[in-house]
Structure 1
Amino acid sequence: MLSRTAIIALFASAATAATVAVQASNYGDVTYYTPGLGACGQYNTDTDYIVAVAAGTFDNYPGATSNPNNNPICGKQIKVNYQGKSVTVTVVDRCAGCAGAADLDLSPTAFSQLANESVGRLYNAEWDYV
């Protein structure tokens, strides 16, 4: 039989786990790149609304295999919010140069929906899967 203290600890632990599981938003730096052939196996251009997610996010997405073309993250949509502006983009690539696990690399057209390209890097942008 569990003590009252043990029961309280179990409920507190379950509540903490539920809070973590519900947390949906990610925060990371956002840059832009020149698209081409992406890790998902398709060609894109500067005018497409696309994103390369950090290598850690791409590689550890549930169901990822050794063939990046078959990664279930490919084709997922992400909504990025920054200082009152937002853009929805499609995952088509893996960002090997993204230092943070939640960093993103957008196409120039998508980036320009959030800020002028001359800014170069957006710090602590919020994003989530749509």
Structure 2
Amino acid sequence: MRTTFIASILALGAGMTLAAPVSSNVEARGDGGAHITWYGGHMLDDPYCGGTRPNDADLVAATPWDSPYGCGDKVHFDYWGKGVTVTVIDKCDTCSGTWFDISKGAFSRLADLDVGELHNVDFWRA
């Protein structure tokens, strides 16, 4: 009986070890997913981070002022198996939290522009 009890404890401990995550990249991933909209045209003028004006086809993003992502950071978005990596070049005055404005070129890699906005998009620092 005592041997059975000890074997049960060891098996439980082994199961818990196997259930533990192999690596933790939680802090790099968005919590609850991103809200994504697209921007283009005159809104691409004079990016906050400086540099040349991007065009609609460039894979760029504007982040909220309270975002941990800053100028030059790369952020990857994954939406229903479609993905795109963008470079942060601007700030979005109307965005907050995990809301990102991305270029038309970047958005079109995730969904049709007519959709307008996406919710619960997985994202992480690339």
Could you tell me the TM-score, scaled by structure 1's length?
0.69
User: Distance between the aligned counterparts of 2:119 and 2:26, measured in 1?
Assistant: 24
Give the AA of the match of 2:59: Y
Query: What does residue 23 of structure 1 align with?
Result: 27
Equivalent residues of 1:86, 1:113 under 8 A apart: yes
In the other structure, the counterpart of 2:71 is: 74
Structure with higher Rg: it is 2
Equivalent in 38, 50, 73 of residue 32 of structure 1 = 38
Amino acid at match of 1:83: W
The secondary structure found in structure 1 opposite 2:47 is: coil
Residue segments in structure 1 that go unaligned for 5+ positions in a row: 1-19, 62-71
Alignment of structure 1 residues 104-115 onto 2, 5 Å:
104-115=100-111
User: Normalising by the residue count of structure 2, what TM-score does the alignment of the two structures yield?
Assistant: 0.71
SS in 2 for 1:109: helix
- 1:124 and 1:37, CA in 2 relative to 1: closer, same or farther beyond 3 A? same
RMSD over aligned CA atoms reads 1.8
Distance 1:46 1:21 in 2: 31
Verify the 8 A CA contact 1:37 1:44 in the aligned structure 2: no
* AA at the equivalent of 1:51: A
Q: Which sections of structure 2, spanning at least 5 residues, go unmatched?
A: 1-23
SS in 2 for 1:126: strand
Q: Which amino acid aligns with 1:28?
A: A
- How many pairs are equivalent? 97
